[in-house]
A and B are shown apart, each in its own frame.
Chain A
Amino acid sequence: MKYQIIFTLNNEKVQHEVEANKTLLKMLREDFDLTGAKEGCGQGECGACTILVNGKPVNSCLMLAVEADGKEIVTIEGLSDGEKLDELQKTFITNGALQCGYCTPGMIMTAKGLLKENPTPTVDEVKVAMSGNLCRCTGYKRIIEAIMEVVENNKN
C-alpha cells in the first residue's frame, strides 16, 4: 500500500505517494533525485544522511519517508541559490575541508543546523555538534576551520 504525503522540500510544496517501508533518505535519493545526502552506515552512526527537518539536523536514514508528511525539509541541494553558494559551501571549498566529498553534504547540513540555533558557537561547541558526522579522509581539522570561518564572519 502507498501513502499520500504532502511536505515542503527545499522551499517547494510537494505531494508524493510512498511505501511505508522506505526510509526518508531513500525517497529523497530515488524519487526526487536529490543524491546529496548519502547512505554511509544506515544506522544513525555516520551522519552522511543528515538533512534539516523543521530546521533541525536529523539522520534521514532513521526516518520513514511517510514521516515527512507535513514537515519542512531542506537538503544540501536547497542551500544554494542557483549558482550562488551558501557561505558554508564556500568556506568548505576555500579551506579544502573535503577530499572524497562523501561526508560533506552531511557535515554542512549539521553545521547549518547548529549555526541556525547559535550563530557564534565556540570551537568546542562546534566539535560537540559535529560529533555525529564521520569523515574518513580529512582528519576533521579543516572542517572545523571552515565552520569557524563562518562563525567569525557572523561575529562582525
Chain B
Amino acid sequence: MNKFNYFKPSTLTEASEILRKYGENAHILNGGTDLVVRIREDLLNPEAVVDIKGIEELHHINYNEKEGLTVGACVSLSDMAHNEAVVKHFPVIADSAEVVGSGQIRNLATMVGNNCNASPLADTATPLLALDANLLVYSPEGNKKISIHDFFVGVRKTSLKTGEIVIAIRVPSYTSMKGVFKKASRRKDVDLSTVCTTVVRINNDEIRIALGAVAPTPIRAKKAEGFAKGKDLTDEVVHQIAKLAVEDATPIDDVRGSKEYRLHMVEVLVRRSLEELRY
C-alpha cells in the first residue's frame, strides 16, 4: 500500500469538504471490503481516504410504514440481515445480504458500500432494484434522493458527483410483497455471483424481476415484467416469463461462467423463484 492521508470526520459537511479538496484522489472508506482490497492490489492509489464511520447518523437503521425501511450507510450487512424489521418486512433483502462473502466480511461490509461499489454482480442490488429503492444523498448543494434506477451508470460507475455521500438507502413499504433472491456461484459459500436474481410479487398481480451479473449494471427484466402483469402464475405462464427474462440480459464470458451458461441460469433461477412465489 502506498502512503495516503487518513481522515475520520464526524460530520457530513466536513467529509464532503475533504472529498472535494482531493477530488478524484480521495476515496470514501466504509466497511473497506472492496476499497482496502483495491488499494492493497494497487488498483487504486488514493491521496486521501475518508473514513465515514465517525459520522454518527450513518449508523442508524429504522422502519416505519409511512417511509419504509431506512438503512444507514455504515450499518453492517450482518446487523442489517438480523434486524427485526428487515427480517419481518424485507426477508428478501436479508437473504441477499446473507450470501455476501463470509461472516467475517459481513461484519465489516455494508449494503451502501455494496451498491456504491457498483459492481454488476452486487448481491444486494437486485432486491433494491426490484423494490424501487432510493438513495438518500448528502450533496454540498443540498440533500437529494436518487432512484436506484438512476444510480448505476456502468461497471463501477454511479451517478454520484464529487463530494456527494450516500447517507442511507430507503426501501418503500408494501402492503403485500413476497420476494425470492437466488444466486448461482461456482461454490456454495464465499463466492461472487455468476448470476443473481430477485423476483418479487406485489399485491398478487405485479411481478418484478431484477438480474445481476448479466449486464454492465444490475438490471430489471422489463419485457418479462410487462408480460407477467395481471396473469395467473400457471406452469405455462411461469415458463414464458422465465424465457422472456433472458431477453434483457447481455452477459459476457468471464472466469465465473460463459455467456451461454449465464443466460441459461437466468431462465432457471427466475423460473424457480416464480414457482416459489405461487404459494
Contacts and interface: CB of A to CB of B under 8 A. Distances in A.
Contacts of A113: 103
A53 B8 CA distance: 18
B107 to A, nearest CB: 4
B6 interface: yes
B232 to A, nearest CB: 36
Most buried by B among A1, A20, A57, A114: A20
A56 B37 CA distance: 20
Nearest to B32: A62
Interface range, A side: 20 to 34
A148 B234 CA distance: 45
B102 A131 contact: yes
Interface in B92-129: 101-105, 107-108
A64 interface: yes
Interface of A: 1, 3, 19-23, 42-45, 47, 50, 53, 56-59, 62-64, 66-67, 69, 110, 113-114, 128-129, 131-133
Interface residues of B, number: 29
Given A56-B107, A62-B105, A129-B103, 19 more contacts: A1-B5, A3-B6, A20-B49, A21-B1, A21-B3, A21-B39, A23-B1, A44-B101, A50-B104, A56-B78, A57-B103, A59-B33, A62-B36, A62-B37, A64-B32, A66-B6, A113-B103, A131-B188, A131-B190
Contact of B6 (A20, A45, A128, A133): A20
A59 B105 contact: yes
7 contacts: A20-B5, A20-B49, A44-B37, A53-B107, A63-B36, A129-B103, A131-B190
Contacts of A20: 3-6, 49
Given A21-B1, A62-B33, A64-B32, A132 B40 contact: no
Given A42-B40, A58-B107, A47 B6 contact: no
Interface string B20-43: 000000000100110011011100
Contacts of A131: 102-103, 188-190
B175 interface: no
B2 interface: yes
Nearest to A57: B104
B51 interface: yes
B108 A63 contact: yes
Contacts of A114: 103
Contacts of B32: 62-64, 67
Given A21-B4, A64-B6, A67-B51, A44 B107 contact: no
A47 B37 contact: no
Nearest to B108: A58
A45 B3 contact: no
A63 B40 CA distance: 11
A132 B102 contact: yes
Nearest to B53: A67
A58 B1 contact: no
A31 to B, nearest CB: 16
A66 B103 CA distance: 22
B36 A58 contact: no
B101 to A, nearest CB: 7
